[in-house]
Amino acid sequence: MDRFPSGDAKPARLFHSSRFTTARAAILSVATAALLTGCAAETGSGGNPSGETPTSGASADSNSGTAPRSTSASVNPSELVGADKVPGLGDVPTLKLTIEQSYPVLAPPLPTEKNVAAPFVQGLEFEPDGSLLMGTGLYGESQIYRLPQWLDNSAAEPTNVEDLQPELFGEGITRHRDTVWQLTWKEGRAIERDAATLKQRREIPFDTEGWGACSFDDTIVTSDGSGTLTFRSPDDLSAQRQLPVTAAGTETTWLNELECVTVDTDVNPDAAPDAAPAGTDDSNSQSNGDEPTAPQSHREIWANVWQSPFIYRINPEDGKVTGIVDATELFRDLYAQLSPTEQNSIDVLNGIALMPDSSSSTSPNGTRQFLLTGKKWPTAYRVTVSE
């Protein structure tokens, strides 16, 4: 989500208005537009981008070749990609989002010693002990750090702060056992880190743009700004499989920050079939043995859609989007907290991390709990997503 389209990048061709075909989509679109317009109206920015932003959406940092992007990224919510532009809306089930709690987002000092109000979030992931890993972007400002035992103390100071070289634009992060991988945007480099200290072990070439990343037990999933995800070796990020993601039969694009979710199923024979996307089978099961009661599981990939308030739930087997979250409510709540100046400083929704503390995070009934935030957002939200 970091990219600010430069004319030649992600063409709008993938956003087919033909998706906007059902009454439900129409209602949702209108509701979303009205809500976002309401957000903008509160800022006094009306339908026009604020400040120096010459173009729409998260385009404040226009990407002009190799020119460093400014840190004054802002996004006008009224210009986010709307319901009529996101494939699958109207055809794929919309999942219910409930805000449970909000938290301040803490950021360590930057290498430049410049203070920032909030981090430019590019990667967000909980560790098993409840610590939160955060990866941030922008040239000269990219970092990775840990918010230790965040579940117990969300105000804890960041630790293990590692600054990236100024020529690197940090992107997705993900932990896989004792390793943390951090992608870079267009630099063709990925960083392997020691999970305990977050210090760099080595740097390896990376074959495409880096956007989001998440991990399953046996593979790492990355996005590159397109609608195709790549499954990679946890050892060296070599590509193993590509997964075109489709929503209601239409190819998607701008898949960004990711979250890999494994859901144990069949533990309780009386449990209702979970929200496994149609077509999901047991091929992903993490077998613990041959006993008939061994838990089985299915997998989901959740993806922020850049420049939009929407999040996809994706079946990693067939690439189909099986549910869509409309997180517009977060913008409305956020804007209610912020001064006009602060409103102009925030950027797009980005950052999704499965909450590690609650059984409802991976309930077989399909309910999930996530921590969601955005670039330069001072607030993160714990939300429940349900059918």
- Taking CB under 5 A as the binding criterion, the range among 29-37, 85-93, 347-355, 372-380 that sits at the site for Ca ion is 347-355
Position of tokens 């037990």?
217
- Taking CB under 5 A as the binding criterion, the range among 50-58, 66-74, 125-133, 271-279 that sits at the site for Ca ion is 125-133
Main-chain dihedrals φ then ψ at residue 145, nearest 5 degrees: -160, 175
Q: At 211, which amino acid appears?
A: W
- Taking CB under 5 A as the binding criterion, the range among 50-58, 315-323, 342-350, 353-361 that sits at the site for Ca ion is 353-361
- Using rule CB under 5 A, residue 300 touches Ca ion: no
Cβ burial 342-381 (10 Å sphere, 16+ → b, else e): bbbbbbbbbbbbbbbebeebbbbebbbbbbbbbbbbbbbb
Supply the minimum distance, in Å, between the C-beta of residue 126 and Ca ion. 9
129 vs 281 by CB, closer to Ca ion: 129
Task: Give residues with Cβ within 8 angstroms of 383, minimum separation 6.
Answer: 97, 98, 99, 100, 327, 330, 369, 370, 371, 372
Supply the minimum distance, in Å, between the C-beta of residue 101 and Ca ion. 19
Which one among 141, 259, 266, 347 touches Ca ion, defined by CB under 5 A? 259
83 vs 221 by CB, closer to Ca ion: 221
* Closest-CA residue to 16 (of 83, 76, 79): 83
Give the count of beta carbons closer than 10 Å to the beta carbon of residue 74: 22
Supply the minimum distance, in Å, between the C-beta of residue 226 and Ca ion. 18
- Using rule CB under 5 A, residue 125 touches Ca ion: yes
43 vs 131 by CB, closer to Ca ion: 131
- What residue is closest to Ca ion based on CB? 259
Supply the minimum distance, in Å, between the C-beta of residue 259 and Ca ion. 4
Rounded Cα gap, residues 333 and 225, in angstroms: 27
Residues that bind Ca ion (CB under 5 A): 124-125, 259, 353
